[in-house]
Amino acid sequence: MMKADPIAAVLIVVANIAVYLVERAASDPATFITAFAFVPYDVTHGIVLAAPSPPWPPLTILSALFIHAGIVHLAGNMLFFVAVAPAVEAAEGAPRFTLLYFAAGIGGALLQLAFTPESHLPVVGASGAIAGIMGAFLIRFPAARVVFGLPAAVVIGAWAIFQFTSSLPLISGAAAVPGTAYLVHAGGFAVGVLASGLFKKRT
């Protein structure tokens, strides 16, 4: 699977860790998180928080990709990422891999925004982008053994089904509640599957 060093993947991991260290070093980490978190209500209503929050609310969709609520949140995301990212980067190439990563992160956030535009709950973390990389891995390496000798088609497929079914209450109009952003995961995964499928068809 490997053709070259996964430079883009390494840089993404380093960036996430670096931002987390800055976050923890802030005088008030909670305020730092709030400043860069993606809040659907703020985006739909054009609410700009005080600096250092981005001056244009939609930019928080990007900034939130590098913000994590704690060390467990960061470690969990990076663990999933490093499990699949090197192989996907080798298959797609660094430029397309990077594009896919950010497109999935943005796509996941936009799906959350579409169904919960009035939500005041902050969304943070790289999980939407990572879900996209997992989707790409599924397309590129469906038979690869990933967990307990099971193929990616089974493991990642089951994970994806759980994300989509868990998103159904929000799609049906239920109010967003604190916890896992299933819609972000589902949207990011869908972008990864579609983009990688398109890339694969063109190569």
Q: Which residue ranges form the domains of the chain, and what is each CATH number?
A: 7-202 (1.20.1540.10)
Task: Kindly write down the DSSP assignment for every residue of the chain, as one continuous string.
Answer: ---S--HHHHHHHHHHHHHHHHHHHSSSHHHHHHHHSB-HHHHHTT--PSTTS-SSGGGHHHHGGG--SSHHHHHHHHHHHHHHHHHHHHHH-HHHHHHHHHHHHHHHHHHHHHH-TT----B-SSHHHHHHHHHHHHHH-TT-EEETTEEHHHHHHHHHHHHHHHHHHHHTTPPP-SS--HHHHHHHHHHHHHHHHHHHHH-
The average pLDDT across 92-116 equals 96
Task: Give residue-wise pLDDT tens across range 112-156.
Answer: 999 999 999 999 999 999 999 999 999 999 999 998 889 999 999
Q: What is the predicted pLDDT for the residue at 176?
A: 67
The average pLDDT across 50-73 equals 96
pLDDT at 61 over 90: yes
Q: What is the predicted pLDDT for the residue at 2?
A: 45
Task: Give residue-wise pLDDT tens across range 4-57.
Answer: 789 999 999 999 999 999 999 999 999 999 999 999 999 999 999 999 999 999
Average pLDDT, the chain: 93
pLDDT at 1 over 60: no
Q: What is the predicted pLDDT for the residue at 94?
A: 95
Q: What is the predicted pLDDT for the residue at 66?
A: 98
The average pLDDT across 91-97 equals 95
**pTM of the complete model:** 0.93
